[in-house]
Amino acid sequence: MSISSALRKLRQYRGPRPRPTIFSNIWNAGLVVEEIERLYRKTKDLSYVGAFAARPALVSAGTYYFYSWRNAVTAAGFDYLKMRRQEEWSKDRIVKLLRLARQRKDDFSHNEFERNHFRLFHAAVNHFGSWGEALRQVGVDYRKVRKFNEWDRRIIVREIKRLRKKGVDLSLRAMHEKGNGAVVSASQHHFGSWRNAIQAAGLDYQTICKREKWSPDRILRIIRQLHRQGQDVSWSARMKAGQLKMVVMGAHYFGSWGAAVSKAGVDYEKVRKHRRWSSQLVVSEIKRLKRQGLNLSYRGLVEAGYHSLVYAGGFYFPNWGAAIKSAGLDYDKIKGTSVVKRRKRQGKTVKN
- Do 238 and 202 share a structural domain? no
Name every residue whose Cβ is closer than 8 Å to that of residue 250 and which is 6 or more positions away in sequence. 219, 223, 256, 257, 260, 261
Judged by DSSP in three states, 89 sits in: coil
Single residue among 271, 293, 310 that ends a domain in this structure? 271
How many angstroms separate the CA atoms of 41 and 32, rounded?
14
Q: Which structural domain range is residue 96 located in?
A: 91-145
Query: Model's pTM, two decimal places?
Result: 0.32
pLDDT score at 11: 46
pLDDT score at 350: 41
Residue 81 DSSP code: H
How many angstroms separate the CA atoms of 307 and 66, rounded?
20
pLDDT score at 22: 40
- Do 203 and 222 share a structural domain? no
Asked whether 49 and 85 are in contact (CB, 8 A), the reply is: yes
Judged by DSSP in three states, 1 sits in: coil
- Do 73 and 118 share a structural domain? no
pLDDT score at 161: 92
How many angstroms separate the CA atoms of 296 and 169, rounded?
46
Residue 350, domain member (yes or no): no
Q: Which secondary structure element, helix H or strand E, spans residue 290, and what is its range? A: helix 279-291
Single residue among 104, 126, 145 that ends a domain in this structure? 145
First-to-last C-alpha distance (Å) of the chain: 21
Nearest partner of 218 among 249, 172, 241, judged by Cα: 249
pLDDT score at 220: 93
Report the b/e string of 259-282 with b at 16+ CB within 10 A: ebbebbebebeebbeeeebeeeeb
Residue 351, domain member (yes or no): no
How many angstroms separate the CA atoms of 222 and 214, rounded?
11
> What's the mean pLDDT when you consider all of the chain?
76
Specify the number of domains making up the chain: 5
Distance set, CA 142 to CA 1, 104, 146, 270 (Å): 37, 17, 6, 56
pLDDT score at 18: 40
Question: Could you read off the pLDDT of 135-168 as tens digits, one per residue?
Answer: 889 998 877 777 655 678 898 999 899 888 887 8
Judged by DSSP in three states, 261 sits in: helix
Distance, C-alpha 323 to centroid of its chain: 24
- Do 234 and 202 share a structural domain? no
Residue 177, domain member (yes or no): yes
How many angstroms separate the CA atoms of 229 and 78, rounded?
39
pLDDT score at 286: 92
pLDDT < 70 regions, the chain: 1-26, 84-88, 111, 147-150, 177, 179, 209-213, 239-242, 244, 272-276, 305, 307-308, 336-352
- Do 162 and 230 share a structural domain? no
pLDDT score at 224: 92
- Do 58 and 15 share a structural domain? yes
DSSP annotation string for 114-156: HHH-HHHHHHHHHHHSSHHHHHHTTT--HHHHSS-SS--HHHH
pLDDT score at 263: 92
